[in-house]
Amino acid sequence: MHSAGRCRVYESDGLRRVTGDSIRPGGFTLTGRALALCSFPPGARVLDVGCGAGATVEHLITNHNLVATGVDPSPVLLERGRQRRPDLPLREASGENLPFADGEMDGIFAECTLSVMENPDRALVEFCRVLKVGGRLVVTDVYARCPDFVPALRRLPLTSCLTGAMSRRELNDKIKSAGFETILWEDHSKLLAELTARLILTHGSLDAFWGKFACGPVSCREIKETVKKSRPGYFLLVAGKNG
């Protein structure tokens, strides 16, 4: 994911204390919503891209009888997952270079991870390659409701789903260019607001939370204000691979 030397918010204990190992707004709420929409049969092969410590992989195997695999480029998060559940099928790989054959998966989940990938365009093309024709792509992520502030987000010295957020239009264009047809888009910004509220209640204030990541000339207040100006929202998108 994003270049070395930047703070990776998703690896921090300060975030995991609030989200648990799912490391995203809403936990498994939107995973369940997507599963209901996709109706994968038991035994279907699904891939969680950016699986972190494997919480979703474990959830898909244990609670939905799916043959789930996870990939993540973070050795830190994968090690956490292996310590918790050594039997989980977790592999070190990036979304842009998936170690799977063409058409191997019935479904791909990228939950709050596309926005932290170095090259989302390339990752989406990889997702399309690895999916079967008719397979389903599930993306949940942060999006910028004020696209004018996306360049300012990119300049922040952090790697997080907030700083990598795209506009809805940009994301839809990328999805279409990669060979997918969008089946569903839903706004779930309330989940992001609730996560923000939990961060405040846990850390005392947003300044205190962002202060853990402030580095160089960028203050925690500047991080907070830049993020706020972009009006971050949260979405669920389900897309199908065209034949």
Q: Where does this chain bind other proteins (CB under 8 A)?
A: 189-190, 193-194, 196-198, 200-201, 204-206, 228
Is residue 9 a contact partner of residue 224, using CB atoms and an 8 Å limit?
no
Task: Please identify, using beta-carbon distances, which residue of 99 and 204 lies nearer to other proteins.
Answer: 204
Task: Please identify, using beta-carbon distances, which residue of 37 and 208 lies nearer to other proteins.
Answer: 208
Task: Please identify, using beta-carbon distances, which residue of 175 and 192 lies nearer to other proteins.
Answer: 192
Is residue 140 a contact partner of residue 233, using CB atoms and an 8 Å limit?
no
> Residue 185 CB, nearest distance to other proteins (Å)?
18
Cα angle for residues 61, 160, 62 (degrees, 5° grid): 5
Antiparallel, parallel or unpaired: β 180-187 and 232-241: antiparallel
Is residue 54 a contact partner of residue 84, using CB atoms and an 8 Å limit?
yes
Task: Please identify, using beta-carbon distances, which residue of 38 and 192 lies nearer to other proteins.
Answer: 192
Task: Please identify, using beta-carbon distances, which residue of 37 and 193 lies nearer to other proteins.
Answer: 193
> Residue 231 CB, nearest distance to other proteins (Å)?
8
- Residue 100's nearest CA partner among 67, 74, 126, 65 is 126
Q: How far apart are CA 102 and CA 2, in angstroms?
A: 26
Task: Please identify, using beta-carbon distances, which residue of 134 and 204 lies nearer to other proteins.
Answer: 204
Determine which helix (DSSP H) or strand (DSSP E) holds 29, and give its type and residue range: helix 29-38
Measure CA of the first residue to CA of the last residue in the chain; give whole Å: 30
> Residue 206 CB, nearest distance to other proteins (Å)?
7
> Residue 233 CB, nearest distance to other proteins (Å)?
9
> Residue 203 CB, nearest distance to other proteins (Å)?
9
> Residue 149 CB, nearest distance to other proteins (Å)?
15
Is residue 161 a contact partner of residue 23, using CB atoms and an 8 Å limit?
no
How far is C-alpha 90 from the geometric centre of its chain's CA atoms? 16
